[in-house]
Structures are given as C-alpha cells and as structure tokens.
Homo-oligomer: A and B are copies of this chain.
Amino acid sequence: MLKLITALAFSTTLFATSAFAQKAAVKNNSITQEEVLAAQQAWGKALVQISQDFEKGGIAKATETAKSVLDAAYGYDDGPVLFKPTLTSGAQTFRTTYEGALAYFVGNNSKFPQDSGFALKGWRKTEIKNSALYLNGDLAISMGNVMITNKDGQVTTVDKTWGYKKDTDGKIKIVLHHSSLPYSAK
C-alpha cells in the first residue's frame, strides 16, 4: 500500500526554493484492473484445484481445499455475500452464507439436498472473457463469459458477474457472484 513517489519537478522558475525532488508517502485504497484480472485467474485455478484434489484425495481433501478458497477469495467473514451460483434454484437459489457456498462447491450437506458439488465435476481449465469492467473505489465489478472445460474436453459456458472488494489491508474478496447458464429459446 505504501510507496514513495517522486512528484513533478518544479525546475524552470527563478524562485525555485528546493533543489531536491520531493517524496510523498502514498496510500491507495482503490482496486485496480490488474487486481481484478488476477482475482479472476485465481478463481479459475481454485476451481480446477478443488476438482483435482477431489480426484486425488476424495471429498475430505476437496472440502478442505474449498474451505481455503472460500476463506481467501470470498468475503463471508465480513457479512453476506451476494452469490447466485449457476445451478441453484428455488428457496436455495441465493447463497449468502458461507455454509451455502461450501455446499454448492462440494455438496455433501443434507441441508442443501440439491447440491451435488459443482467443483467436483472434473474441471481442468477455465477461461474468462470479460465484456466490461466497472471500477468504483475499493469495489470492482466484472461481467462476461466464463468457459470451463472438464477432463473430457467438454466446455460449459456461463454468463458471469463478479464483484470484488479490496479490504482495508489490501486483500481482494468476492462480495458478489451471479452466474447463469446462457438463455436458449425453446
């Protein structure tokens, strides 16, 4: 957060009173485009990681990894997260709590009987195509497509909105996540 800058020089006037460039301490709480793109990439890698850990270490290992991902990448510690996963419906559509999010990713929670564990589906790769980014202070929103490929090479495309919050100590957390399958006329 803290870095030194060398500000604009003031060298061309007769009355210059300082021969030295100034240095100012700078604190910037705003989120950057680079931080958003990095957080998107991290999300994609985390999804693949959970799948691979499930294949190697079973549900226990996958759950452990999923918890780490939720802790590091989502803002549940600070309150509700606006999370509408791709495959939820009915009274359990919105997963504003940590437990609801974990159930969606790894299933095995009797309170969420429809959840079969989205992150356990053998994912191998994610690709992100942003349509637009909106940066507003410490909050940024991205909208676009995410293509996720499984071990058989099948690609699932979703319409995705993410909202990222940069917290006071500089960590980036997902506070909004709306994912939906593309509309298809019947």
Contacts and interface: CB of A to CB of B under 8 A. Distances in A.
A121 B89 CA distance: 25
Given A22-B129, A143-B94, A27 B79 contact: yes
Interface residues of A, number: 80
A82 interface: yes
B180 A159 contact: yes
A134 B17 contact: no
Contacts of A10: 127-128
A25 B83 CA distance: 12
A82 B37 contact: no
Interface in A42-63: none
Interface string A11-51: 00111111000101111111101000100010000000000
